[in-house]
Amino acid sequence: MKDLVIKGKWIKRELLVLIIMFLIALIMNVAGIITHGGRWMEMLSQLHVVLLLALVLYLVFGFLRLIIYLLVILFRKIKK
């Protein structure tokens, strides 16, 4: 059986994307607190929701990247 090697560059890129999605979810949480006049304690009490939203955003973004990747491969084959 062949070993699967994941390069450090790929891991760093995916971790950076996940951190960016977490920051987007955190900004959405802050915007919600400001908009609805909530308490700032909700930043901590809703952290599990922010983490879940970050994972959902990561999965949606990954799905979009997969679609774009497949389209690029398809158009390359059509050009040839």
User: For helices 8-36 and 47-79, what crossing angle results, to 10°?
Assistant: 130
Tens digits of per-residue pLDDT, 45-68?
999 999 999 999 999 999 999 999
Q: What is the pLDDT of residue 16?
A: 97
Q: Are 22 and 54 in contact (CB under 8 A)?
A: yes
pTM for the model: 0.82
Tens digits of per-residue pLDDT, 24-38?
999 999 999 999 998
Q: What is the pLDDT of residue 41?
A: 92
Q: What are phi and psi of 68, to 5 degrees?
A: -60, -45
